[in-house]
Chain A
Amino acid sequence: MTHSFLSALTPAIGKTVRAVARLRGGGTALPGRVIESIDSNFMARTLAQLPYGVVLVSGTNGKTTTTRIVSSMLEQLGLKVFTNPTGSNFTRGVVSALLDAVDMSGKLHADIAVLELDEAYAVHFVDKVQPRYALLLNVLRDQLDRFGEIDTTAKMLATVAKKTTGTVVLNREDPRIAALTDVVSQGANIAYYGLSDELVSFFPSDDTMYNSDDTEDSRNFTLSHYRPAAVTLTKVHNQQAQFEFADNASRYDTNLKLEGVYNAFNAAGALAIVEAIMNDVASAQSHEKNGDKSRANMHGDIIRAVSTVTPAFGRGESIIVNGDKVELILVKNPMGFRLALKSFDALNHKTMIVINDEYADGRDMSWLWDVDFTTLTDSGVEAVSGVRATDMALRLAYDEVPVRNVNDDINSCLEEFIASTRGVDKHIYCTYTAMLAVRKSLSQITHVEDAGL
Chain B
Amino acid sequence: MTENTRELAIVSLYPKDMNIYGDTGNVKTIALRARLYGYEPRIYKYNVGDAWPEHVDLVLGGGGQDKGQAAISDDLFARSQKIHELAQAGVPMLLICGLYQLFGEYFETNEGVRLPGINVLGVHTVGQDTRMIGNLVEHNAQCGTIVGYENHSGQTFVHDDGTEPWAEVKADGTGNNGVDHTEGARKYNVIGTYMHGSVLPKNPQLADLLIRKAAEHRYGNFEPISTVEQAEELNRLNAMAKAAAQVAASRPR
Chain A residues engaging chain B, CB cutoff 8 angstroms: 141, 144-145, 148-151, 210-211, 213, 357, 363-370, 387-388, 390-391, 393-395, 397-400, 408
Given the complex of chains A and B, what is the CA–CA distance between A391 and B201 in angstroms? 9
B22 contacts the other chain (Cβ, under 8 Å)? yes
Name, among A210, A357, A369, A399, the residue most crowded by chain B CB atoms within 10 Å (CB to CB): A369
B170 contacts the other chain (Cβ, under 8 Å)? no
Interface of B is mostly: mixed
Can you give 19 A-B contacts (C-beta < 8 A)? A144-B20, A149-B65, A363-B252, A364-B21, A364-B151, A365-B248, A366-B22, A366-B25, A369-B23, A369-B201, A370-B21, A370-B22, A390-B243, A391-B202, A394-B244, A395-B25, A397-B240, A398-B28, A398-B29
Pick out which of these stretches binds chain A: B79-87, B129-137, B216-224: B129-137
Name, among A151, A357, A365, the residue most crowded by chain B CB atoms within 10 Å (CB to CB): A365
Q: A151-B66, A364-B151, A387-B251 are in contact. Are A369 and B244 (CB under 8 A)?
A: no
Residues of chain B with a CB closer than 8 A to A365's CB: 22, 149, 197, 248
Given the complex of chains A and B, what is the CA–CA distance between A213 and B43 in angstroms? 13
Given the complex of chains A and B, what is the CA–CA distance between A368 and B202 in angstroms? 13
Given the complex of chains A and B, what is the CA–CA distance between A100 and B235 in angstroms? 57
Whether A388 lies near B247 (C-beta < 8 A) is: yes
Residues of chain A with a CB closer than 8 A to B252's CB: 363
Residues of chain B with a CB closer than 8 A to A397's CB: 236-237, 240
Closest Cβ of chain A to B99, distance in Å, is 15
Closest Cβ of chain A to B205, distance in Å, is 15
Tally chain B residues at the interface, Cβ within 8 Å.
Answer: 40
Contact of A369 among B15, B24, B243 (CB under 8 A): B24
Whether A210 lies near B16 (C-beta < 8 A) is: yes
Whether B133 lies near A145 (C-beta < 8 A) is: yes
Closest Cβ neighbor of B21 among chain A residues? A366
B176 contacts the other chain (Cβ, under 8 Å)? no
Residues of chain A with a CB closer than 8 A to B134's CB: 145, 363
Contact of B149 among A366, A398, A399, A408 (CB under 8 A): A366
Whether A148 lies near B151 (C-beta < 8 A) is: yes
Residues of chain A with a CB closer than 8 A to B198's CB: 366, 369
Residues of chain B with a CB closer than 8 A to A145's CB: 133-134, 149, 151
Q: A145-B133, A366-B198 are in contact. Are A393 and B15 (CB under 8 A)?
A: no
Contact of B24 among A213, A370, A393 (CB under 8 A): A370
Given the complex of chains A and B, what is the CA–CA distance between A213 and B243 in angstroms? 33
Residues of chain B with a CB closer than 8 A to A394's CB: 201-202, 237, 240-241, 244
Residues of chain B with a CB closer than 8 A to A210's CB: 15-16, 19
B153 contacts the other chain (Cβ, under 8 Å)? yes
Given the complex of chains A and B, what is the CA–CA distance between A387 and B135 in angstroms? 14
Closest Cβ of chain B to A404, distance in Å, is 14
> Please, what's the 1-or-0 string for B131-154, where 1 marks a CB less than 8 Å from any CB in chain A?
101110000000000000101010
Give 7 closest A-B pairs by Cβ, nearest first: A366-B22, A369-B25, A369-B22, A390-B244, A366-B21, A390-B243, A149-B65
Whether A363 lies near B22 (C-beta < 8 A) is: no
Closest Cβ neighbor of B241 among chain A residues? A394
Closest Cβ neighbor of A148 among chain B residues? B131
Residues of chain B with a CB closer than 8 A to A151's CB: 65-67
Closest Cβ neighbor of A364 among chain B residues? B149
Given the complex of chains A and B, what is the CA–CA distance between A213 and B12 in angstroms? 14
Residues of chain A with a CB closer than 8 A to B22's CB: 364-370
Given the complex of chains A and B, what is the CA–CA distance between A364 and B251 in angstroms? 10
Given the complex of chains A and B, what is the CA–CA distance between A398 and B134 in angstroms? 24
B187 contacts the other chain (Cβ, under 8 Å)? no
Closest Cβ of chain A to B37, distance in Å, is 15
Whether A363 lies near B247 (C-beta < 8 A) is: no
Given the complex of chains A and B, what is the CA–CA distance between A4 and B25 in angstroms? 58
Whether A357 lies near B251 (C-beta < 8 A) is: yes
B196 contacts the other chain (Cβ, under 8 Å)? yes
Closest Cβ neighbor of B195 among chain A residues? A366
Closest Cβ of chain B to A362, distance in Å, is 10
Whether A369 lies near B28 (C-beta < 8 A) is: yes
> Please, what's the 1-or-0 string for B161-205, where 1 marks a CB less than 8 Å from any CB in chain A?
000000000000000000000000000000000001110011000
Closest Cβ of chain A to B100, distance in Å, is 15
Residues of chain A with a CB closer than 8 A to B149's CB: 145, 363-366
Residues of chain A with a CB closer than 8 A to B237's CB: 394, 397-398
Contact of B251 among A149, A363, A367, A393 (CB under 8 A): A363
Given the complex of chains A and B, what is the CA–CA distance between A212 and B140 in angstroms? 36
Residues of chain B with a CB closer than 8 A to A213's CB: 45
Given the complex of chains A and B, what is the CA–CA distance between A388 and B245 in angstroms? 10
Given A369-B23, A370-B24, 18 more A-B residue pairs with CB atoms under 8 Å apart are: A144-B21, A148-B131, A151-B65, A211-B16, A363-B134, A364-B196, A366-B22, A367-B21, A369-B25, A369-B198, A387-B247, A391-B244, A393-B240, A394-B241, A397-B237, A398-B32, A398-B201, A408-B247
